[in-house]
């Protein structure tokens, strides 16, 4: 799972690579046509339109290939990493903590805590699930990276070290994606 910082850097590098390829293709067309193209700098001509079209086509196709290669969200790629994906901790909702099994009322999901440390999860199945059995991600992981987990699991825990920050239910995740 990649973090928000890693996705921002990937988006920046992919965008810059597409920009360089677009400018290089435009320059090659400019050189092949004898350097007579002008597009918007005081005037423009047909050769300038060809240079602009070459840039636009190569830049767009390079962005398309880069998106498939580095798998970043469109907004992160198109803004060169200035707009970053949502981190997992922002989607996580805090879980109620239960000190003793007798205190659990059976409504919703709760975190079973013994001696101040979380040990299990109640409410997902008919028995206590150990925290090792529930998928968990670090808080700084990008939420867009969690899709494969939600295809199999109804809930993902968000942790920071040993501390459980909360959980993301499947419905909230897909609502965030707009599905």
Nearest-10 Cα torsion for 10, 13, 17, 20: 160
Residue 131 sits at φ, ψ, to 5 deg, of -60, -25
Strands laid side by side in the 97-98 sheet: 97-98, 110-114, 117-122, 129-130
End-to-end CA distance of the chain: 21
Encode pLDDT of 111-149 as tens digits: 888 887 888 888 777 677 888 888 889 999 998 888 888
The residue with tokens 């921002």 is 8
Encode pLDDT of 64-95 as tens digits: 999 899 888 888 888 888 888 889 999 999 98
Residue 155, strand partner residues: 169
Residues whose CB falls within 8 Å of the CB of residue 37, separated by 6 or more in sequence, listed in order: 29, 30, 45, 47, 48, 49, 50, 51
Domains and CATH numbers, the chain: 4-78 (no CATH), 88-177 (3.10.580.10)
């Amino acid at each position: 799972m990649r973090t928000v910082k890693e996705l921002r850097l990937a988006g920046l590098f992919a965008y810059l690579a597409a920009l360089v390829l677009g400018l290089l293709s435009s320059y090659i067309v400019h050189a092949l046509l004898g350097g007579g193209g002008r597009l918007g700098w005081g005037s423009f001509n047909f050769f300038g339109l060809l240079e602009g079209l070459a840039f636009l086509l190569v830049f767009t196709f390079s962005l398309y290939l880069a998106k498939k290669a580095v798998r970043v969200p469109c907004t992160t790629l198109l803004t060169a990493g200035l707009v970053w994906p949502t981190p997992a901790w922002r989607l996580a909702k805090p879980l109620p903590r239960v000190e003793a099994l007798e205190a659990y009322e059976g409504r919703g999901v709760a975190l079973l805590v013994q001696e101040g440390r979380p040990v299990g999860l109640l409410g997902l199945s008919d028995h206590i699930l150990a925290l090792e059995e529930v998928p968990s991600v670090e808080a700084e992981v990008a939420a867009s990276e969690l899709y494969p987990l939600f295809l199999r699991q109804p809930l993902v825990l968000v942790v920071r070290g040993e501390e459980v920050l909360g959980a993301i239910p499947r419905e909230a995740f897909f609502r965030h994606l707009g599905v």
